[in-house]
Amino acid sequence: MTFSDFALHPMILKAVEACGLTEPTPVQAQALPFAIEGRDILATAATGTGKTAAFLLPTLSRLLGEPQRRGPGAPVVLVLAPTRELAGQVTRAVRAFGKFIRMWSVEIVGGMPYREQLRQMARPVEVVVATPGRLLDHVRAGRLDLSKVEALIIDEADRMLDMGFSEDVAAIADACPASRQTLLFTATLDRRMETLATGLLRDPVRVEIKTELSAPDIAQSLYYADDMAHKRRLLAHFAAQEEVTKAIVFVATKRDADDLARELAEAGHAVSALHGDLSQGQRNHTLKRLHDGRLRLLVATDVAARGIDVRDISHVINFDLPRMAEDYVHRIGRTGRAGAAGQAISFAGRDDGGLVARIERFTRSTLPVAMVPGLEPTLPQRRSQRPQGARPQGAKRPFVAGKKRAASNAAGPRPWRQDKPRKAAPRGDTPRKRA
């Protein structure tokens, strides 16, 4: 199967060929036909499976096949992303797939000057890629008109919920026409996501790509450490290995990111930190250095690293284990992309048995325990069969009824129900209301 097997516009197929894409990925193969038809889609697929092309190619193709309805500050396609980095990644894809067509796209994210965004929105625009907070600022100020939106795309919807953007997404959807097409893409599907989808989608087609969480192209290993100093020695050992050509080191806090980056730099490594306290300019500069190969190590928190799309990451090192098992999957998905081999190395303290058990239960696999000669742990490890607060396998998550609101669609009023926000486990970055 090739992309020419789908009813895509010739100029879009030309751009696909120019981008070096040949065979569609499973999520693309399943989503493209329905998206081209204009159907609403609820798609579940892991990070790095080609979801961006799955929603952009059919949307841009349909855009070319319809009469132009361009107006200043009135897009016909709206893409929502949870982070600035992911929005930038989608914007680059929009311009790559639309390089042979006349189309004006605008990126609206927090941390960027309002004046420049206003200047870009002053001209007729077809596509807007945005984070929810800054987009709502413009909508509520009357600077952006969503009444012409024909396609609403929500990327990484699970992260939207985790970051507390559910109300913003609902408000944005209400500002769009009820007759729009809505494409919702998520890496995980739980009851909260089902509730969100019920309020946004009309008779959606479900696309679910079951990806083996323990990917054969990613070699996973677990190293126990006696204390923080032991973990630092383990990190220094792996950072010095020649096979580690480009790695992301995940930590729990912004302070740890800065401290570890400084220590690694003093040891002679090309390294930088990435976290939410950096300005947008600093974050863009850091990611460009990583893309260009001028950085070998990136020490990052979960929220800051969510939108990273670098295909030659050789290693992911979990200096701190994530508090949520889903984040472990997102982390290791940074390596082993596009068929390349990768390694995921995790460090665990003697009291991290609960976190290890949670990850193993979620991935339905056992993390292989390994040791570095000369850096073996000396203290016994406490491996918990079930982490504190976790539900026994097979137990249902308690449902908390939330408020209801009316949401119109082509078929008439639809009930909107939103669960009360879940208290998130501690993360490296504090979730922000404005991206």
Q: What pLDDT does residue 307 have? A: 61
CA dist 58 and 28 (Å) reads 10
> Which band of pLDDT confidence, cut at 50, 70 and 90, is reported for residue 69?
low
DSSP-based three-state secondary structure for 89: helix
Task: Catalogue all structural domains in the chain, each as residue range(s) with its CATH number.
Answer: 3-211+401-417 (3.40.50.300), 218-363 (3.40.50.300)
Chain segment 195-236, per-residue pLDDT in tens: 999 999 999 999 988 755 545 578 999 999 999 999 999 999
Q: What pLDDT does residue 381 have? A: 64
Give percent helix, percent strand, percent coil of the chain, each to the nearest 5: 35, 20, 45
Chain segment 136-155, per-residue pLDDT in tens: 999 999 999 999 999 999 99
Q: What pLDDT does residue 339 have? A: 61
> Which band of pLDDT confidence, cut at 50, 70 and 90, is reported for residue 102?
confident
CA dist 398 and 377 (Å) reads 39
Residues 6+ away with beta carbon under 8 Å from 363: 213, 214, 325, 328, 329
- Angle of CA points 335, 341, 344, to nearest 5°: 50
Chain segment 358-377, per-residue pLDDT in tens: 888 888 889 999 999 999 99
Look up residue 43 and give its DSSP letter: E
DSSP-based three-state secondary structure for 31: helix
Q: What count of other Cβ atoms lies within 10 Å of the Cβ of residue 108?
A: 25
Residues 6+ away with beta carbon under 8 Å from 218: 332, 335, 336, 341, 342, 343, 344
Q: Are 421 and 431 in contact (CB under 8 A)?
A: no
Antiparallel, parallel or unpaired: β 218-225 and 105-108: unpaired
CA dist 169 and 135 (Å) reads 10
Chain segment 367-416, per-residue pLDDT in tens: 999 999 999 998 776 554 433 333 433 433 433 333 333 333 444 433 33
Chain segment 346-359, per-residue pLDDT in tens: 999 988 988 999 88
CA dist 404 and 51 (Å) reads 31
Look up residue 395 and give its DSSP letter: P
Q: What is the mean pLDDT of residues 306-321?
A: 83
* Cα atoms in the Cβ-side hemisphere of radius 13 Å centred on 399: 11
Q: What pLDDT does residue 68 have? A: 66
Chain segment 260-288, per-residue pLDDT in tens: 999 999 999 999 999 878 877 788 888 88
Instruction: Please report, for residues 4, 220, 240, 243, 290, the alpha-carbon distance to residue 341 in angstroms, rounded to integers and kept in the order given.
Output: 29, 11, 20, 12, 19
Q: What pLDDT does residue 63 have? A: 86
CA dist 1 and 207 (Å) reads 18
Q: What is the mean pLDDT of residues 333-350?
A: 83
DSSP-based three-state secondary structure for 95: helix
Q: What is the mean pLDDT of residues 3-7?
A: 91
Calculate the average pLDDT of the chain.
83
Q: What pLDDT does residue 414 have? A: 38
Comparing CA positions, the residue from 335, 358, 356 lying closest to residue 223 is 356
Comparing CA positions, the residue from 194, 291, 14 lying closest to residue 283 is 291
% of residues, the chain, pLDDT over 90: 50
Q: What is the mean pLDDT of residues 289-308?
A: 82
The encoded tokens of residue 368 equal 């292989």
Q: What pLDDT does residue 321 have? A: 94
- Angle of CA points 172, 178, 182, to nearest 5°: 70
Return phi, psi of residue 124, to 5°: -55, 130
Q: Are 395 and 413 in contact (CB under 8 A)?
A: no
Q: What pLDDT does residue 387 have? A: 38
